[in-house]
Amino acid sequence: MQRSGKGFSALLILLFISSCLSGGGKVALKKASTLQFKGVRDKIKNVQPEFELCYLTAIRKRKIFYGKLLLTVVIDRMGRVREMIWKPEPPAVFKKCAEDVVKRIDFGKLPDEVRIEVPLKFSLEMEEIR
């Protein structure tokens, strides 16, 4: 992940977040079925617009970054988020916002602990505002 400098007042910043949740992402399940994994994956995929808002919030606070991030989410049997691990570590303003988004998801009860890797890619495309 790289950080960019300040001074984007005359530029329109377009955001592209791509996630491998459409079919990718590694998941470790002991007893949970594929259907339950898809449910967890789909619930995380459904909050992608909220990740975009977190990214825009970080940009507004001059915490501009781009590149690849890997978020590993560990969900316990009760459906609670037990742990979130970031590689590399994103700016604190984005991290807190994104973690709050994930913690609000109702995963429901699961037959066993689920560990899902959520690859995210952030890129900036800049155009002059005329």
66-109 tens-digit pLDDT: 888 999 999 999 999 999 999 999 999 999 999 999 999 999 99
108-118 tens-digit pLDDT: 998 888 899 88
The total number of structural domains that make up the chain: 1
Give the global pTM.
0.71
Measure the CA–CA gap between 46 and 51, rounded to whole angstroms: 10
Which residue range forms the structural domain that includes residue 96? 21-125
CATH code, domain with 41 = 3.30.2420
Judge whether 93 lies within some domain. Answer: yes
Judge whether 98 lies within some domain. Answer: yes
Measure the CA–CA gap between 27 and 33, rounded to whole angstroms: 11
Task: Name the token pair of 115.
Answer: 């560990």
